[in-house]
A = this chain, B = another copy of it.
Amino acid sequence: MSFKSSPEYALLGILMTGPKHGYEIYGYFSSKMKQFWHLSMSQAYALLKRMEKNGILISKEEWQVNRPSKKIFSITQAGKERFLDWVHSPVKHVRDLRIEFMAKLFFIKELKLKGALDIIDKQIEVLQEKLHLIKSSKEKIIDEFQTALHSFKIAQMTSAIEWLKECKNYFSCKY
């Protein structure tokens, strides 16, 4: 019922642009999202099936002459709510910026939603809080390894925050 950072949200987001069949959804995905999110075609079909079972999608069969029939998926109300919830909430870990947070920005642009600056700010807050925790926890920095680990976390976190601040400029005009 609850999925994490799995590609379900990508598929939901694509269907926010209107009803589409599996092949079409995958085409959209490959042309626009493959750069930062991976998904195979068979997995896409499997996910769509599961998502329909979970009630966030519904499908209609559309018959064609001389072709296999298409299964047109639409997003349900429950699906829309789920998607909008997701798209406006920050991620919990730096490691989720690369795919999940990026996807949120992508859909905000693609679907012309409001709130890009808002979610970027929320994300900065989340990471800043984590950064403070890391900096203040002076537990067992006793050897070279602990030092390296500690400075890695701070470096990743800091550069992520800097990038987010930069992002605000990119998105400040339209969103």
Residues of A participating in the B interface, judged by any CB pair closer than 8 Å:
35-36, 95, 97-98, 102, 105-106, 109-110, 143-145, 147-149, 151-152, 155-156, 158-160, 162-163, 166-167, 170-171, 173-174
Question: In the assembled complex, which residues on chain B have CB atoms less than 8 Å from the CB atom of A143?
Answer: 109
Question: In the assembled complex, which residues on chain B have CB atoms less than 8 Å from the CB atom of A155?
Answer: 159-160, 162-163, 166
Most chain-B Cβ atoms within 10 A of its Cβ — which of A98, A148, A163, A166? A148
Q: How far is the CB of A19 from chain B (nearest CB, A)?
A: 24
Q: What is the copy number of this chain in the assembly? A: 2
The 8 Å CB contact of A148, one of B148, B167, B173, is B167
Q: How far is the CB of A75 from chain B (nearest CB, A)?
A: 22
Nearest B residue to A109 by beta-carbon distance? Answer: B145
Whether B95 and A149, one on each chain, are in contact in the complex, defined by CB atoms closer than 8 angstroms, is no
28 contacts across the A-B interface (CB closer than 8 A) = A35-B149, A36-B149, A95-B98, A98-B152, A98-B156, A102-B148, A102-B152, A105-B145, A105-B148, A106-B145, A109-B143, A109-B144, A110-B145, A144-B171, A144-B173, A144-B174, A147-B170, A148-B171, A151-B163, A152-B163, A155-B159, A155-B162, A155-B163, A155-B166, A156-B156, A156-B159, A156-B163, A158-B159
